[in-house]
Structure 1
Amino acid sequence: MTNEKKADFSGVTSKVDTTEQKVEKADFSGVTARVDSTEEKVGDVEQTYTVQKGDTLSAISKQFYGKASGWNAIFEANRDQLDDPDRIQPGQVLKIPLDNA
C-alpha cells in the first residue's frame, strides 16, 4: 500500500441561490402613454334629418359638419332611397353619418 494522502474537502462549502441569470431590472422611465378619452361611443352611429323645402345635400352637410363638401357622405349613407344627389324631397328622412370622412 501507498501512503498517499487523499484530498481533504471537509472545509469546502458551496451555496447556490439560483441558477437563473441575473438581469438588471427593466428601465421604464422613458415610457409614456396617452389616452384621449375613455368615454365609450354609445347609441347609433348616425342621426337623421327630415328634408325641408329648399334643402340641398350641401346645405345639410354644412349644417351638420360645418362644410358643404361632406354632402357625398350623406348621399352614400342614403343610397337606399336616393339615386341622384340633386333630387331630394321635402319629408324624406335622411341618415346623417356621425363619422364624416
Structure 2
Amino acid sequence: MSPDKRPDFSNVKSGSGTTEPSRPDFSNVQSGASSTEQITGGGGGTGGMAERSYTVVQGDTLSHIAKAHYGKPGKWHAIFDANRDQIDDPDKIFPGQVLKIPALDLDKDGDADWRS
C-alpha cells in the first residue's frame, strides 16, 4: 500500500451485542397471599368448608387433638384418615408433625363445627 492510500472504513458500523439470551420481564408480576382455609377447602363433601392444620406437641394423641378441635375425642379417625400420607399407625404421632384437621359437619347444618 502506498503512503497516499489509506484504507476506507466509511462503511464500517460499530455496535455491541451479547450471546446471553434475553431475560424474561417480570415487571408486571404481582404478589399476594391467601389463607390456607381458602386454598384447602372443599374436601369430603362438606360444602367448601376449610381444613385447619395443627402441629403435634409432646403428649398429644389423635383423640386429644379431636377433642380439642371437635369437642369429641371419638372423631380421631377423621384426623387419621386425612393424614394417611404421613401417619401409618394412629398411635404413633410425633412432636413437630403438622397434621391436617378436616372440617366436620357434626350437626349436619352445612357449617364446620369447630370447637376452638
Task: Provide TM-score, normalisation by structure 2.
Answer: 0.49
How many residues align structurally? 60
Aligned partners of 1:90, 1:53: CA distance in 2, in Å? 5
Which runs of 5 or more structure 1 residues have no equivalent in the other structure?
Answer: 1-41
Q: Greater helix share, 1 or 2?
A: 2
Aligned-residue Cα RMSD (Å) equals 1.5
**Is the counterpart of residue 69 in structure 1 residue 37 in structure 2?**
no
Corresponding residue for 1:51? 56
Q: CA deviation at 1:100?
A: 5.4
Aligned partners of 1:65 and 1:100 also within 8 Å: no
* CA deviation profile, 1:38-74 (whole Å, cap 9, x unmatched): xxxx723210000000000000000000010000000
Q: Which one has more relative contact order, counting CA pairs under 8 Å at least 6 apart?
A: 1
Q: Paired residue for 2:101?
A: 96
Identity of aligned pairs, percent?
60
1:60 and 2:65 are equivalent in the alignment: yes
Change (3 A) 1:79 1:66: same
TM normalised by structure 1 equals: 0.56
